[in-house]
Amino acid sequence: MLPNTGSRRCLPMLGALALLVPLLAIVLPQPVAAAGVVTECTEAALRAAVAGGGSVTFSCTGTILLRSQLEIAQDTVIDGGGNVKLDGLLQTRLIHVAAGARLTLQSMTLTFGNARDGHGGAVYNEGDVIIHASTLSENEASHGGAVYSHSDASLVITASTLNANHARHGGGAIYNQARADLTMTASTVSGNSADVAGGAIGNAGSAIVTASTLVSLRGDSRTLISNSGSLRLTASIISGSRRACEGFINSGGYNVSNDPLFCSLYRTGDLDNADLELGPLADNGGPTLTHLPQPDSPALGRVPNDLCAELSAANGGYDQRGKDRPVEDAPCDSGAVEVTLATWCGWKSGRSPEPPDLAGWEC
């Protein structure tokens, strides 16, 4: 009978494999249950990427159709690079952020979310949400057509546009519940609507709106801002179709509004009952749509230079489009958009009426 040497020959091979398997685990691509790069713009790929939190980016371009909401239960960053849209087909809310979780949305478009009889058509926020350089449009809900922040939640919006969202009760774009915090800087809220009040913002918590532009849906007779909490408004443009504000607005100054009375704008630099002279919501440069003040707008050069850097700090010293704010030693403009020297000089050379003289600006 021949000696059985096969098992002995296998021993060195098994030892080598035992050493090789950990190396293969490092070198070969592994299934990713947490964040990563989404290579195919599909619902399944996105769900797999966000499942464990972390940073999510995209190597694909296009629209991801959602059949049910994304659940964010861990700290997550979703950066669309300006090339990815989430679409709920008016059948589902897009995102739910759980208490204790933080979601950062950057360079994304969220559209056609619908919470039906619930709140927050695009985002229902029970944690902390940061939205930057993004667009939320044509979403629907009972309260907070685009975003609803629950009590004890936090919402920060910079350099973003919320437009054409609708609430069947309050807060056409945003509803900020009692004990919730909202901070908005260098952003545009335009053409949203609510069946009861607050076509742009319904606030029962604490809200700070700085260097932003709020424009009502044309012909909407309801209020643009409905406030039953604490709301501070500074260096912003308020354009309502009828009665722009409901509830007390704490002005930080340098606001301009077409409302003759109801926005309580009595601080330094405030101007009410004004002809605002805003251009339509359009591509004026930058990643999102904005309203550009026209040559004779009272928003131009309204804010003293020494306050401009402080007011724009939350957006890195830029306006919504990424333009410098302030421009050198000149005063800066109220609202989300800073008119650049090139635009101003174009007006000076070929448009009438001429814009106001701005200190330190020469063509």
Does residue 97 sit within a domain?
no
Residue 214: count of CB within 10 angstroms of its CB: 30
Q: What is the pLDDT of residues 255-295, one digit of tens each?
A: 999 998 789 899 999 999 999 999 999 999 999 999 999 88
- Cα separations in angstroms, 233 against 80, 97, 212: 30, 27, 9
Residue range(s) defining the domain that contains residue 244:
115-363
Are 123 and 182 contained in the same domain?
A: yes
- The distance in angstroms from the start CA to the end CA of the chain is 103
The pLDDT score that the predictor gives to residue 32 is 33
Are 246 and 307 contained in the same domain?
A: yes
Q: What is the pLDDT of residues 92-132, one digit of tens each?
A: 999 999 999 999 999 999 999 999 899 999 999 999 999 99
Does residue 281 sit within a domain?
yes
Are 280 and 360 contained in the same domain?
A: yes
Distance CA 119, CA 122 (A): 9
Instruction: Let me know if 342 is exposed, middle or buried by CB neighbors in 10 A (0-12, 13-18, 19+).
Output: exposed
Half-sphere exposure of 263 (CA within 13 A, CB side): 33
Does residue 6 sit within a domain?
no
Confidence band for 358, pLDDT divided at 50, 70 and 90: low
Joined together, the tokens standing for residue 262 give 């109801």
The pLDDT score that the predictor gives to residue 357 is 58
The pLDDT score that the predictor gives to residue 221 is 60
Q: How is 39-79 classified by DSSP, letter by letter?
A: -S-SHHHHHHHHTT-EEEEESS-EEEE-SSPEEE-S-EEEE
Does residue 102 sit within a domain?
no
Domain count, the chain: 2
Helices (DSSP H) in the chain: which residue ranges?
A: 6-27, 43-50, 305-312, 341-350
* 158 and 183 Cβ atoms separated by less than 8 Å: no
Distance CA 95, CA 29 (A): 29
Please give the torsion angle defined by the CA atoms of residues 166, 292, 156 and 247, in that order, rounded to the nearest 10 degrees.
-60
Are 179 and 38 contained in the same domain?
A: no
pLDDT greater at residue 12 or residue 215: 215
For β-strands 256-257 and 237-239, DSSP reports them as parallel
Residue 17 has pLDDT above 60, yes or no: no
Are 119 and 81 contained in the same domain?
A: no
Mean pLDDT to the nearest integer, 26-36: 44
Report the candidate in 287, 218, 244 with the shortest Cα–Cα distance to residue 79.
287
Are 167 and 295 contained in the same domain?
A: yes
Residue 124's identity, in one-letter code, is: Y
Half-sphere exposure of 212 (CA within 13 A, CB side): 28
Are 84 and 172 contained in the same domain?
A: no
3-state SS, residue 313: helix
Cis, bond preceding 355 (omega within 30 deg of 0): no
Residue whose structure tokens are 């930057």: 132
Residue 308 has pLDDT above 90, yes or no: yes
Q: What is the pLDDT of residues 71-84, one digit of tens each?
A: 999 999 999 999 99
pLDDT greater at residue 31 or residue 68: 68
Instruction: Please give, one letter per residue, the 3-state secondary structure of 95-124.
Output: EEECCCCEEEEEEEEEECCECCCCCCCCEE
Measured at the CA of 17, the angle between CA 14 and CA 22, to 5 degrees, comes to 140
Distance CA 336, CA 213 (A): 5
Does residue 194 sit within a domain?
yes
Are 146 and 240 contained in the same domain?
A: yes
Q: What is the pLDDT of residues 211-228, one digit of tens each?
A: 999 999 776 667 999 999
The pLDDT score that the predictor gives to residue 320 is 98
Are 82 and 120 contained in the same domain?
A: no
The pLDDT score that the predictor gives to residue 348 is 65
Joined together, the tokens standing for residue 178 give 């009692």
Mean pLDDT to the nearest integer, 38-67: 97
φ, ψ for residue 234 (rounded to 5)? -140, 135
Are 57 and 192 contained in the same domain?
A: no
Residue 166's identity, in one-letter code, is: H
The pLDDT score that the predictor gives to residue 12 is 40
Distance CA 214, CA 274 (A): 14
Alpha-carbon Rg for the chain, nearest whole angstrom, is 25
Are 48 and 133 contained in the same domain?
A: no
Q: Is the pTM of this model over 0.85?
A: yes
Are 148 and 289 contained in the same domain?
A: yes
Residue 185 has pLDDT above 90, yes or no: yes
Residue 91: count of CB within 10 angstroms of its CB: 14
- Cα separations in angstroms, 239 against 236, 246, 277, 279, 335: 10, 14, 10, 12, 11
